[in-house]
Structure 1
Amino acid sequence: MGDDIVFWIIQGPGWLLFAYLVVAQCTSALSYELGVRWGTQEPREQITDVGVAFWWGLALADLVFYTPLLAVGLIAHWVGADWVGPVLGAALGATVYWPVASLATVWKARGAAGWKLPKERQYWVVLPLIAGWGAVALVLLVVSA
């Protein structure tokens, strides 16, 4: 596969994901209720206090660790930094990890008392796409190094 194609397979979706994280996750870490109003987080009445705590915890981890790591990794990849492998590789590993953890939570919580996720189908469409891109980008990063 050509270097230009590999570059854009990593960069294009990477920056789209970064923008999504800033809007949906980082904002929700600062104000979960704002995320609920924007439709990027689930209301307490539908997922219980424990569900809110879990989703907020992921949003906070995205704010303080994952989103900055992804940005630094994408910039390193863009400029061809020699340290891109470990940094972007770590971010891409997290890109696979958190959708899997989230889907496992959605699946396991289904039917639990107080848990009613009316937009569950969206999770099963979007999160596998994110995890799939993360896995493909990680493989491309390794083989193109």
Structure 2
Amino acid sequence: MDWTLEVVILPVSDLTSAIEFYRDKVGFNLDHRTTNEHMDVAQLTPEGSGCSVVIGNLPSQQEMAPGSMRGLQLVVADANAARDELVGRGVECSEVTVFDERDGGTFFGFADPDGNTWGVQQLKVRGEKPLIPLDHRGRFGDDA
């Protein structure tokens, strides 16, 4: 039986500002924003990821303080290029640090406006072998 992690609930103080940060600065895809009498939430997914973040006012989010998530991790094929891209979009990032010369030992980090922190790990193999394969049109997933 496969057990897949597909959503992480992320506590933020302002939904609109958080959407702008994750979509416009970090580059996540805005999958949807759902606003009704029960909720105001958005789901965003990093390109190539099978896991999304959900932000907004779900009961589980209201139990966590905005900015209380630490060490969420993204993986990229080239840490320097990823950092340059984020810095170019106005995201403050730490310097790239090599903890181990082997693939997987290079990291940098950033935080969202609320203080939720992210680590970005370099795995060069992701450039050759993505977790979610491209379809025949060069897009991620089966129904892209």
Structure with greater proportional strand content: 2
Which range, TM-score by smaller chain?
A: under 0.3
TM-score, normalization by structure 1: 0.27
TM-score, normalization by structure 2: 0.27
Q: Which has the higher contact order (CA 8 A, sep 6+)?
A: 1
Structure with greater proportional helix content: 1
